Amino acid sequence: MSTGRRNDVGMRSSSYLFLFLTVAAAAMAVYAISAALAAPEQKPSAAAPATVHHAARPSARALDAPPSASEFASDVVDTTTAYANANGETARIANVDCVQASSSHYMCSYAVVRPGHARECHLMQAIWTPNRASTYTVTLAGRTHACGTVREAVRSLD
């Protein structure tokens, strides 16, 4: 194997490692932000441990089958908007497009819109978890170059 070929493989491996680390860091940031966005401001008592709610509970549908992709997108918008309104946040998410990979598993693209700032394009994977503290749990997230459909957002990662 020539040295040039080894350098190509090494560069590609470090690019994938950088991409993985970036996505992992973004996922942690999105998880922390979603926890902060959905958790009401409370002072925990000394007797009870603090509980973080990541998303507001939807109606009785939580006990039924998982929502469709469009219903899940609506839930994401509703929960983040409700938190933002309740806490005076100006950031909103828009253009949410979700696909359902399998029962309870979703991938969504969306834009974060802040007054006076450029739109930020994002992609996330989430699981519907109605019987936990959060109705959905973000498992992977990160920024993308495109704010269109899920397909456009994924393709923009190349």
Residue 42 pLDDT greater than 50, yes or no: no
Distances (CA, A) of 157 to 16, 61, 105: 12, 34, 21
57 within domain boundaries: no
pLDDT on residue 114: 95
pLDDT on residue 134: 83
pLDDT on residue 30: 44
61 within domain boundaries: no
Q: Provide long-range contacts, Cβ within 8 A and 24+ apart, for 40-48.
A: 40/86, 41/87
pLDDT digit string, tens, across residues 92-142: 999 999 999 999 999 999 999 999 999 999 999 999 999 888 889 999 999
Least confident residue range of 40-49, 52-61, 138-147 = 40-49
18 within domain boundaries: yes
Q: Among residues 92, 53, 99, which one has the least CA distance to residue 73?
A: 99
* Summary mean pLDDT of the chain: 74
pTM over 0.75: no
pLDDT on residue 7: 53
* Contact call for residues 156 and 144 (beta carbons, < 8 A): yes
52 within domain boundaries: no
pLDDT on residue 158: 79
Give the count of domains, the chain.
1
102 within domain boundaries: yes
97 within domain boundaries: yes
Q: Which structural domain range is residue 94 located in?
A: 3-39+66-155
Q: Among residues 44, 38, 51, 124, which one has the least CA distance to residue 85?
A: 38
pLDDT on residue 8: 54
pLDDT on residue 63: 57
103 within domain boundaries: yes
